[in-house]
Chains A and B, each alone.
Chain A
Amino acid sequence: MKRFSYLILILLVGVSCTGCFELIEELTLNSDGSGHIAITFNGSQSKGKLNSVMKLETVNGYKVPSKSDINQEFYQLKKDLNAMSGISNVKISLDSDNFIYTVEGDFQNIPALNKALNQVAKSSIEKRNMPYRFTPFDHYQMSGRKFVRTGPDRDRVPDYQKVKMDDRQIFESGEYRAIYRFEQPIQSVSNDRAVVSKNRKAMMFHASVKELIDSKIPMANTITLQ
């Protein structure tokens, strides 16, 4: 989900300035491999700053989009995702007053989800002519009773060093949370930072974006189901 979250950040880079944000990735996996995913960007903690930044023309060299521009981007994203094979029921929830944006939808299987996420990230980077290299990869893998959340590939790290200092501050001021829910109970999780819910059917991972970027905390996680 790193690429997708990256896309959300790119969409809001013009208004992110130096405030804090929360990025929540929720995935529910059915036993047949299909499921539901929801990505939420919550900039509510920084709404004062964001409202001020919205009055500017540019920030960090990027054109600041208006609230309607941002909404328009999400409508387009919804349209694009709905047109992708294996993705359906895409919905968006836009709270421009509090800067909370959610995109959610159903997927037929994990490969379809990976393909959709890669496509969205690629077109977003290309459309904005951003100086970041795009390499598609599998964000999630499912094999037997093992569900794998892939961590950031080491090749991306040099790219991150090229990101402007001002932009890095935007990414590093955020919090990332991933919640995965399953029909079967969880037997074990490989990531020390991940916690399993009391009903053992959900797992939550929480870290600051800075910790993830600095590789202080690994993002990769293998969840073994019973």
Chain B
Amino acid sequence: MSDVERFLAMGGYARFVWPAYALWAAVIAGNVWSAWRALDRARTRALRRLAARAAESPDGSRA
């Protein structure tokens, strides 16, 4: 058994160890993606609001 194969086999416990690590990677990736998306979306919306307000004031249509 080569070293790589031995590593992947995890002493026979591969079907427990690797899913655990996969879940961990998924949770971290999910959290990072979710946080990034929240910030990105909030920033876009805030910029849009600012642009809308800047467009209104020169017209003087809103105080």
> A and B, one complex?
no
